[in-house]
Each structure stands twice: as structure tokens, then as C-alpha cells.
Chains A and B, each alone.
Chain A
Amino acid sequence: MAILEILKLPDPRLKEMAEEVNRFDEELKAFIADLEETRQTGPAAVGIAAPQVGRGQRIVILDCSTTKKPVENHGHLVLVNPEIIEWEGFELGREGCLSVPDYTGNVIRAERIKVRFQDPQGEHHEFEMVGFEARALQHEVDHLDGILFIDRLVSRRTDLFQRKVYQKGSK
């Protein structure tokens, strides 16, 4: 196990498209263990993607089970070759990133998604995710496509004008 170096903006490797994983071997498992150790070492990140440590492969770790206010989640997940196949709704939320220290900003994400992925053994799965977990996965999948949350920032006035669209249920 090892703690890997997190790439930070403006490292160009963060803007590259990651490759699909097709070898589900011991080396992959060892890398996933390192990636997890790296995620846990820094500031409380709910997710991390392989390109953030300079490995251009489609691997994501997600764990939304430890948020301060509990959210609907699937626990600790390792998603290899994740693909979002359905999107629904949209919602504004605040995001930050291990690769963009000292900055947080508002981003619009789909509220409900369906994701297809492989586990580290190569088995296929399909999950539905909502709210915070769906947001986290979209943030991580963006890393696989070379996109950072700062590429999706919205103006502080966006919320003012479109608030009725985002507001849900509570009233």
C-alpha cells in the first residue's frame, strides 16, 4: 500500500480522457488499494478517480456513507469503467475537489442517474443513484473524461433566477 500523489490544477493530465480498463488482475487490485488509501489520507473526499493520481484509466472509488448529514447511498463502491446511462432532473450543489485545493463552487448535476460499471473482478453491475451520491459519481466520471467541476461552474445569479426549478418538496 502506498499514498499516491494527487495531481493538482493546472496539471494537463487532469484534462485527458482516461482509457477503459480491460485487465482485472492483481495489479489493478493493488492500485485500487493505493487509491483508497490516498482518498482517506486527504481532506474528507467522498470520491476519487484514477486520473487524479496520474493513472489514465476509468477507475473510481465512491463512498457517501460518511457524510455529516446521512444521504441515500450504496456504501463503499469501486467502479471500473463506469458509464452513466440515464439522467433525470437537475440540481445545484456545492463542490470542491482534491485536485483544486482552496476552492468550492456551485455546479448543476442530474439529480437521479443510472450507472453501469464493473467491479474489480470484472463483474457487471447497474445501480440507480440519487441526490448527493449521484452528484458525487458525476463529479468522478467527469474526471475520467478530463473535466473538472470548475469547467461546470454556474454564476451566482443562476440560482436566483432559476430557483423554482431547483427547489423541491420541502414547501
Chain B
Amino acid sequence: MNWQMLTLVGEDQPGIVARVTDALYRGGCTLGETSMIRLGGNFTIMMMVDGGQSEQALESLIAPVADQLQLKFHLDSMHGGLHRHRVPNYQVRVNGADRAGIVAMVTGALAECGFNILELASDVVGDSAKPVYIMTIQGYAEAEMERLEAALKPLAAEEIDVHVSAIETLIG
């Protein structure tokens, strides 16, 4: 397989996924892992695409539909492939009054422990007068829980509420 990473972003509306993937399907492409989510009224897509064609051919396949839906898109040929999942062993939950630097502080502390973020989702919720930042991180680290907790402890002084828990993945 010769995967390319296709990124599409634009104002959200019904039918984006259907029309983009239909164009790819008709063009002989297969999809690999994808991430699609609405962020701030935009719809964002990142997906692994392979049709065995050149970047230019893929580009001309997507351009018309992206144009119709007013999406910006970007293509990168990528290394890697399917079946490279890594199972997280830690979950970190964060919340606090919204302010600049929460993500940088939390992930900086985790990075010092060799923590590999596998998935991160964050949101600003509450009302616009008193916005609250909420984030969940799932990742993998060799470090013991105590070390992660110690690294995150200084954040309490910044009034950021951080909670680490071990994930024991159940196989049944």
C-alpha cells in the first residue's frame, strides 16, 4: 500500500463525508484509518487514502468535490500503514477555568515523563462569560503512575484540575 494523508477542512454542512468518500470510492481509492470531527463549526477530516495513483491524480479526484463543498484540502504521502495501533495504558483528565497554556503545561509535564499521547480531545464548554476547558488524553508511558502524578502536581497551583488513571484494557 502507498498511503497518502488527506486533510480536509471547511464550514460544516450535511453531506461532506458522503460526498468526499463517494468521490474517492468512484476514483478507485480505499480508506484506512480516519479521524473526522466538528471543531468550532468547521468539519475536519484526516484520512489515510490509497488508490495506487499519484498525488496529482488523487488531487484532481478531490479538487472538484472540495471546491463544491468549499473545503480546503491537503495531501501528503506518508510513511507507515495499518495495524500499528498502540494500546494506551494511561488516561489523563483535565479541567479548569479556560486560560491560555493549559494544554502546553499539561502535555509538557507528561512529555518529561516520556508519555506518548495517542489521542487527545479537548473542548471549551460552559458559557462564554465563564468558559471551562475540558480535556481527555489517552496515551502510553513506561513511567509509573507516581511519577506522572508528581510531574502534574505543580498544575494544582495553577488551578488546573488534573487526574491520571491507569487503563487496564480488558481482553475478553
The answer to whether B169 has its CB under 8 Å from any CB of chain A is: yes
Known: A102-B83, A104-B85. A163 touches B93 (CB 8 A): yes
Whether B119 contacts A156 by the Cβ 8 Å rule is yes
Task: Determine chain A's interface SS by DSSP, over half rule.
Answer: mixed
The answer to whether B136 has its CB under 8 Å from any CB of chain A is: yes
What is the CA–CA distance of A96 and B171 in the complex, to the nearest angstrom? Answer: 5
The answer to whether B88 has its CB under 8 Å from any CB of chain A is: yes
Whether B93 contacts A136 by the Cβ 8 Å rule is no
A94 surroundings in chain B (CB, below 8 A) = 87-88, 167-170
Chain A residues 73-102 with CB under 8 Å of chain B are 93-98, 102
What is the CA–CA distance of A47 and B168 in the complex, to the nearest angstrom? Answer: 14
Known: A67-B168, A136-B172, A171-B161. 9 other contacts (CB 8 A): A71-B168, A93-B168, A95-B170, A96-B171, A98-B171, A104-B87, A149-B172, A160-B135, A163-B95
Partner among A98, A136, A159 whose Cβ is within 8 Å of the Cβ of B136: A159
The answer to whether A132 has its CB under 8 Å from any CB of chain B is: yes
What is the CA–CA distance of A44 and B119 in the complex, to the nearest angstrom? Answer: 24
Whether A97 contacts B123 by the Cβ 8 Å rule is no
**B-side interface residues toward A, CB under 8 Å?**
37, 83, 85, 87-88, 93, 95, 119, 121-123, 125, 134-136, 161, 163, 165-172
Whether B172 contacts A95 by the Cβ 8 Å rule is yes
Q: How far, in Å, is A22 (CB) from chain B's closest CB?
A: 25
What is the CA–CA distance of A157 and B161 in the complex, to the nearest angstrom? Answer: 19
Whether A96 contacts B169 by the Cβ 8 Å rule is yes
A49 surroundings in chain B (CB, below 8 A) = 172
Known: A94-B88, A103-B85, A170-B163. A156 touches B172 (CB 8 A): no
Q: How far, in Å, is B165 (CB) from chain A's closest CB?
A: 8
Chain A residues 133-156 with CB under 8 Å of chain B are 135-136, 139-140, 143, 149, 156
Whether B163 contacts A171 by the Cβ 8 Å rule is yes
Task: Determine chain B's interface SS by DSSP, over half rule.
Answer: strand
What is the CA–CA distance of A67 and B119 in the complex, to the nearest angstrom? Answer: 24
What is the CA–CA distance of A136 and B119 in the complex, to the nearest angstrom? Answer: 24
Q: How far, in Å, is A139 (CB) from chain B's closest CB?
A: 4
The answer to whether A43 has its CB under 8 Å from any CB of chain B is: yes
Known: A96-B87, A156-B119, A160-B136. A132 touches B171 (CB 8 A): no
Q: How far, in Å, is B121 (CB) from chain A's closest CB?
A: 5
What is the CA–CA distance of A96 and B122 in the complex, to the nearest angstrom? Answer: 24
A45 surroundings in chain B (CB, below 8 A) = 171-172
Whether A96 contacts B170 by the Cβ 8 Å rule is yes
